[in-house]
């Protein structure tokens, strides 16, 4: 009889639990609005690394809301051109975009810090600053005047220095050079006499092929191979001192962001963090093999001379000082970035760089 009583209790309790669960699910569902947003990207669909980050983000948001929050991603030109993505968010044409903050540095140089600046942080340092050093809040304090809310949305890691039709040896070789370069880096090499041009990814190859450009920088081996730069320029330079990393952003119209229920805001933050991680992982898995293919196909690797990089470092610091003297927003974010850079490079050279350098030596010996 005791067993029968226990059995009845178990059945009754289980039924009550099922009933409670059945009641809870519809209540949650009823409280979650159905939303359909549009996201315009600054990057061509052919780049599964960069454009793919926006797709990862949209799918994650959908999965985490059981399909109630849908974000449709559009390629450049389907709604607005790639370099007008942020403007489309600002004026309410779309709810959000996936872009590089430094594309808009002409509006205010402070935008550059959301992506990268010459001789700035590496990828891990940038993540540390954004997620644990107050960087997200600091940038959003700036972005709000443009009616946008920003979240990290992927990182390329350290980039290459680009493709050149001729070799760059002393700093003087930059004189008169027409080079596609994004953001702050253009202002620096202009000090060395170059003519920087900012073009979206889908337009670069044609300009280089037609001779409208003498050189281009984009990202690194995997993307560069897809865009075919090796077919129209011979010399592949490194390091990309102006992009020791390059963080992308999801920009969301601030009114749309503020109207989201708190659970949806939490989901968007989590989805952006996931996309940020996935994009870097994809580059790290693909770049090595792509570099081997490029070199096998005839690309000639070259390093910038120390003399050239020193000249660029001096020019960058001069530009930073000049802008800081007249732009309070820029100065505030620059000083915060410098603090992170100083402390982290002190730490990284002790443990990270020492370990990496030793293993790189073993790699050169073929011991790995």
Domain ranges of the chain: 33-156+245-284, 162-243+298-325+333-342
Whether 23 has a pLDDT exceeding 50, the answer reads no
According to the model, what pLDDT value does residue 52 have?
Answer: 97
Place 30 in a pLDDT band, splitting at 50, 70 and 90.
low
Whether 308 has a pLDDT exceeding 90, the answer reads yes
For range 33-42, the mean pLDDT: 97
According to the model, what pLDDT value does residue 68 have?
Answer: 97
Whether 203 has a pLDDT exceeding 50, the answer reads yes
The yes or no reply on domain 33-156+245-284 and CATH 3.60.70.12 is no
CA 41/CA 62 separation, integer angstroms: 18
Token pair, residue 300, equals 């000639």
DSSP element (H, E) containing 31: helix 2-31
Tell me, rounded to whole angstroms, the distance of Cα 288 from its chain centroid.
19
**Beta pairing, strands 247-253 & 96-99:** antiparallel
According to the model, what pLDDT value does residue 201 have?
Answer: 77
DSSP element (H, E) containing 321: helix 306-324
According to the model, what pLDDT value does residue 198 have?
Answer: 84
CA 158/CA 122 separation, integer angstroms: 7
CA 283/CA 334 separation, integer angstroms: 27
DSSP element (H, E) containing 364: helix 352-364
HSE, side-chain direction, 13 A CA sphere, residue 359: 7
Place of tokens 């880096």: 185
Instruction: Kindly state the percentage of the chain with pLDDT values over 70.
Output: 92
Whether 90 has a pLDDT exceeding 60, the answer reads yes
Q: Are 156 and 116 in contact (CB under 8 A)?
A: no
Q: Do domains 33-156+245-284 and 162-243+298-325+333-342 have the same CATH topology?
A: yes
Q: Looking at 2-6, 34-38, 283-287, 347-351, which range is the least confident one?
A: 2-6
For 278-292, write each residue's pLDDT tens digit.
999 999 999 999 999
Other CB atoms within a 10 A radius of the CB of residue 32 amount to 14
Which CATH number does 162-243+298-325+333-342 carry? Answer: 3.40.190.10
Q: Are 200 and 206 in contact (CB under 8 A)?
A: no
According to the model, what pLDDT value does residue 31 have?
Answer: 74
For range 253-259, the mean pLDDT: 98
Other CB atoms within a 10 A radius of the CB of residue 146 amount to 18
Whether 5 has a pLDDT exceeding 80, the answer reads no
According to the model, what pLDDT value does residue 199 have?
Answer: 84
3-state helix, strand, coil in the chain (%, to 5): 60, 15, 30
Place 103 in a pLDDT band, splitting at 50, 70 and 90.
very high
């Amino acid at each position: 009889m005791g067993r029968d009583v226990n059995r009845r209790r178990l059945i009754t309790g289980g039924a009550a639990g099922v009933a409670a669960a059945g009641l809870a699910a519809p209540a949650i569902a009823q409280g979650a609005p159905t939303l359909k947003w549009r996201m315009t990207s600054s990057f061509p669909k052919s780049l599964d690394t960069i454009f793919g980050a926006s797709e990862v983000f949209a799918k994650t948001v959908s999965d985490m809301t059981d399909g109630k929050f849908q974000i449709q991603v559009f390629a450049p030109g389907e709604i607005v051109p790639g370099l007008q993505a942020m403007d489309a968010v600002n004026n309410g044409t779309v709810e959000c975009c996936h872009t590089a903050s430094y594309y808009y540095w002409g509006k205010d140089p402070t935008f550059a810090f959301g992506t990268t600046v010459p001789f700035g942080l590496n990828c891990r340092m940038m993540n540390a600053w954004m997620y644990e050093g107050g960087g997200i809040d600091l940038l959003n304090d700036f972005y709000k005047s443009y009616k946008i809310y920003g979240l990290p949305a992927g990182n390329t890691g350290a980039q290459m220095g680009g493709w050149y039709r001729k070799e760059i040896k002393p700093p003087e070789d930059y004189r008169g050079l027409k080079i596609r370069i994004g953001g702050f880096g253009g202002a620096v090499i202009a000090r060395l006499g170059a003519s920087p041009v900012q073009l979206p990814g889908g337009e670069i190859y044609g300009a280089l092929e037609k001779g409208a450009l003498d050189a281009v920088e984009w990202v690194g081996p995997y993307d560069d191979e897809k865009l075919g730069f090796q077919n129209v320029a011979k010399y592949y330079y490194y390091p990309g001192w102006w992009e020791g990393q390059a963080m992308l952003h999801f920009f969301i119209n601030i009114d749309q962001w503020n109207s989201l229920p708190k659970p949806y805001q939490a989901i968007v933050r989590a989805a952006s963090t996931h996309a940020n991680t996935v994009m870097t992982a994809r580059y790290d898995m693909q770049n090595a093999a792509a570099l081997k293919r490029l070199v096998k196909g005839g690309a000639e690797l070259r390093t910038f001379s120390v003399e050239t990089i020193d000249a660029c470092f001096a020019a960058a610091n001069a530009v930073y000082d000049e802008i800081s003297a007249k732009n309070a927003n820029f100065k505030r974010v620059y000083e915060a970035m410098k603090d992170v850079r100083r402390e982290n490079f002190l730490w990284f050279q002790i443990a990270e760089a020492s370990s990496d350098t030793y293993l790189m030596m073993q790699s050169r010996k073929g011991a790995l």
